[in-house]
Structure 1
Amino acid sequence: MIERLSKLIALFIITAFISCNQASEKSMTFFGGKIINPKSDHVILYDNEIVLDTFFLDQNDTFLGQVEALSEGLYYFKHGNEHQYIYLQPKDSLLIRLNTWDFDESLVFSGKGAKRNNLLIDCFLDSEKQDKLFYKYYDLTPHKFRNKVDSIEKIKLATYKEFEDNNPEESDNYKDILKIALTYPLYSKVESYPMAHSAMSSHNKHNEVNASFYPHRASISLERDSIMYFYAYRDFVINHLYNKVNTAGHDYHSDEFTVSLLKTIANELKSENTRNAILRQTMVGHFYRKSSCNVNKEAFDTYLSLSSDDNDKKLIKSLLNDSKKIHKGKKLGNFKVTDYNKTDRSIKSLIKGKNVVLYFWNPEYVSKDYIAARVNFLSREYPDVKFIGVKIDGDGKERIKKIDIKKQYYLNSTSAANQFLTSKMPRTILINKKGVVTNGYAALSSRNIYSQINKLRKN
């Protein structure tokens, strides 16, 4: 492995030397590395939502590519359903090494530009650890919670100051990104406090907090469209907007909250692309959180009036129309699914006499690992319920390896099920022993799924 990476680094140097001789005015940036247990045959490099290049793995699961005239800044790469951020400068020769079984934790960088990126991935992993730590802090009073934040913030800012002092040559743009990576996840937790505290309190009310609880707001802008896709910044902006609506007195689980949040997003975010993206995310999240066909028309109408992205609106309309095609209290119509022996099966025969959780999945919207973890957990919790997985737009080549293959199927283009899956987004249908639908649009990710399955078992 070390020998292979050394060869790649040597190749970077040789290629760079040749490139400089052939075209001295061109500034090449090299990107490559090793993927252990690859999930696909390629790695895609993105600039915001724009694909810069696709690099294909060789027989040793390594790749090597170059990008011409790249600007300094934050990018991200994607492999399978996972992605991670990288910071690139012209003439960098950056190598990655990762194991997809432990994607983020195993990721290390080498080559020119590695120091910056190893520091950023450390920030990301530290933020994930703090997510677990802060869960118990949300039960504290505002004063005690703020004290915890202040002590952690001092450590974060000291880390930043040490880097700044020891790296005077570093660009202001990178230092800005580093500071965001260090501090914004913490500020995001501050914005989450009122709602999280309310959820953890038995009286379901949070202690009042005033403006002094949010000193970070004085120096933060919501208009940095170029880094909106960066987790630290995006999560802060979203939590800030949620908190603002919650502070106005709307219950998070109510339809009124969603309508108010959509309007707040439209008012607060001036960038059209950013505004549209978060409006779509909010609307989809609202739909799946409800885990029901009983949609709120006002929320959908509000979204459609505020978004200016025709493709997004088409997706949301498809989601809404799909929800109307399976009716609670009616028997599920028959359709064909295909097993991994390429044999067509009748859904009616598969669900006969069973309480069933029928989940349709699409790797474009949800990872296989998440589905496997969720379905296996629910299967253990409800051993008397049959879980059937169906891949949307399948071809027999892709399944979830951590789930029994005998409980997995896929849809081909001729299946009648495609009529209620026009959005191609995940959908879960609950059917009782009589073949009657008890929920036509449940969501495995929703906290409501537990009570809905319990209700299913009683029918």
Structure 2
Amino acid sequence: MTKKIITFSGILFLLALISCNTANKDTITYFGGKIINPNSSHVVLYSMDKVIDTFALDSNNKFIGKIKNADEGVYYFMHGNENQHIYLEPEDSLMLRLNTWDFDESLVFAGKGAERNNILVDCFLENEKERKIFYQFNRLEPAIFKSKVDSLLAVKLETYKKYVLNHPDETKGFQDILKISLTYPTFSRLEKYPMMYAKYSENGNFPKMDASFYEYRNNIQINKDTLMYYPPFSQYIRNYLYNETYALGHAPMKSEYSSKFTLDLLKIIDHKITSENTKNAFLRQTVIGHFFNKSSCNANYKAFDSFFKLSTNDKDKKLVKNLMQDTKAVIIHTNLPDFKIIDYTNTHHSISKVIKDQSTLLFFWSPKFVSESYIVSRFKYLSNRYPNIKFIEIKIDGDKNDRIKNLDIKNQFYLDEKSDAHNFLTSKMPRSILIDKKGNVINGFASISSYNLTPFLNELNKN
């Protein structure tokens, strides 16, 4: 495990702002730093899904904020479309420096709380490097795979022991987070191994493993609401739940999850997760994620019915109900209902005229659900692969003055509040509609991230 060395200057100007006055009973935690090549004017700090504060960058691209009576624990900050997690304790004075051109790799911390956050970033970067290693490991037989993983875990646990030994004042809370950051990504890959092995094996079957393969589960507590938004933890829980569902006898997934698999997964979530917030989150992610993977208006209504029975979150239920209504509002093999769109010169257009006589993919998006960086990378790939299709991006809501950089502005539009398109966009979730040259809808609810979109694009590209 590498150790970051803080080399940047100018951080003292921020630390100098911090008062040592302890007369006030309230505790003040400081969070600030400098952003090189910023891609927005501010930094937003979150705790779980709640915004703690928004800090504006000054003329030197620096920011400083203070949090009153901050709880100890995991937070994350966002700048533009990028984010990273941090661990804060009361009276910390954590200062960062990063370059958005190399966001995670350039991120370093100084001030009180820096050492613990630098090692967490190291854990993240090491985990990213290990992805390539596991491409090969996943092809190994179970005994050999487990041996490789056990060796890797031994190194990680040694890193943990050395850090705790050299930092005796660290809280139990941070020690737990550090161990999770080091080991849970590997546990997550252990849970995913059967699916990956089946993907690469000649017969496409799961490997045969004995019970000892999952002994590490005995030391894992899966019901922790406070870690629901911490990727090493949440990704492990997700892979564990899927693995438990496959263990019921389901065959490896080829292109989409069967209706029975989705129903069983929802039941597994309900049975295994006792924490209400975490359970609701995974129920929502599952039913929506499987629907988007299907990439079709032919929704699995049994799964939706099961979700409504199991979830206790009214906000989630409303979102899913809107999604279901949206699927029925555009009918395949019929002409797309006409509606108005606005370009970035503030000119109104009829969608029927914009796409006339052209094979088209309309992508409706909201910054709440999808990042601009992902849209750029995905549509550059799709437009190169399918040159006979016109790709149009339509912003549902958000700042109407912003367009997606690095994509052709002539294919970018947005909707005003009066547009009839809102009739089939009530959930505000991203949605793709594919239309042939005759104006007929061939797919009314596709997802640009789903492999199941490919056959539709192949067919559309021919015509």
For the superposition of Structure 1 and Structure 2, which TM-score range results when normalised by the shorter chain?
A: over 0.9
Task: Give 1:352's aligned residue.
Answer: 356
* Contact residue 394 and residue 412 of structure 1 kept, 8 A: no
Q: Which amino acid aligns with 1:320?
A: M
| 3-state DSSP of counterpart to 2:337 | coil
Task: Give 1:441's aligned residue.
Answer: 445
> Which of 405, 408, 422 is the aligned partner of 2:409?
405
Q: Which amino acid aligns with 2:94?
A: L
Task: Give 2:238's aligned residue.
Answer: 238
* Contact residue 395 and residue 412 of structure 1 kept, 8 A: no
Task: Give 2:196's aligned residue.
Answer: 196
How far apart are 1:31 and its partner, in Å? Answer: 0.6
How far apart are 1:105 and its partner, in Å? Answer: 2.1
> Which of 282, 285, 289 is the aligned partner of 1:278?
282
Partners in 1 of 2:82 and 2:123 — Cα distance? 18
Task: Give 2:35's aligned residue.
Answer: 35
More off after superposition, 182-191 vs 266-275: 266-275
Q: Which amino acid aligns with 1:104?
A: D
| 3-state DSSP of counterpart to 2:11 | helix
How far apart are 1:3 and its partner, in Å? Answer: 5.1
How far apart are 1:333 and its partner, in Å? Answer: 1.5
More off after superposition, 95-104 vs 214-223: 95-104
Partners in 2 of 1:245 and 1:434 — Cα distance? 43
1:114 aligns with 2:120: no
> Which of 255, 261, 267 is the aligned partner of 1:257?
261
1:429 aligns with 2:433: yes
How far apart are 1:225 and its partner, in Å? Answer: 1.7
CA displacement 1:119-153 (0-9 Å, x = unmatched): 00110111122123212221211112111111111
| 3-state DSSP of counterpart to 1:396 | coil
CA displacement 1:2-59 (0-9 Å, x = unmatched): 55433112223xxx23x43xx3433221111112333333222222223322222222
Task: Give 2:4's aligned residue.
Answer: none
Q: Unpaired segments of 5 or more residues in structure 2?
A: 1-6
* Contact residue 394 and residue 411 of structure 1 kept, 8 A: no
How far apart are 1:156 and its partner, in Å? Answer: 0.6
Task: Give 2:14's aligned residue.
Answer: 8
| 3-state DSSP of counterpart to 2:403 | coil
Partners in 1 of 2:433 and 2:344 — Cα distance? 21
Partners in 2 of 1:128 and 1:3 — Cα distance? 28
- Once the two structures are aligned, what percentage of the paired residues are identical? 50
CA RMSD of aligned residues (A): 1.6
* Contact residue 81 and residue 363 of structure 1 kept, 8 A: no
How far apart are 1:394 and its partner, in Å? Answer: 5.1
CA displacement 1:396-428 (0-9 Å, x = unmatched): 311110111111111111111111101001000
Partners in 2 of 1:269 and 1:295 — Cα distance? 25
Task: Give 2:3's aligned residue.
Answer: none
Task: Give 2:176's aligned residue.
Answer: 176
Correspondence 1:151-230 to 2 at 5 A:
151-230=151-230
1:361 aligns with 2:365: yes
| 3-state DSSP of counterpart to 1:75 | strand
More off after superposition, 284-293 vs 104-113: 104-113
Q: Which amino acid aligns with 2:67?
A: V
Partners in 2 of 1:172 and 1:165 — Cα distance? 13
How far apart are 1:223 and its partner, in Å? Answer: 1.3
1:292 aligns with 2:284: no
Partners in 2 of 1:167 and 1:210 — Cα distance? 39
* Contact residue 81 and residue 373 of structure 2 kept, 8 A: no
Correspondence 1:283-322 to 2 at 5 A:
283-322=287-326
How far apart are 1:316 and its partner, in Å? Answer: 0.4
How far apart are 1:385 and its partner, in Å? Answer: 1.1
> Which of 383, 391, 406 is the aligned partner of 1:387?
391
Q: Unpaired segments of 5 or more residues in structure 1?
A: none
Q: Taking structure 1 as reference, are residues 171 and 396 closer, same or farther at Cα in structure 2, changes over 3 Å only?
A: closer
1:341 aligns with 2:325: no
| 3-state DSSP of counterpart to 1:112 | coil
Give TM-score, length-normalised by structure 2: 0.94
Partners in 1 of 2:370 and 2:337 — Cα distance? 26
How far apart are 1:457 and its partner, in Å? Answer: 2.7
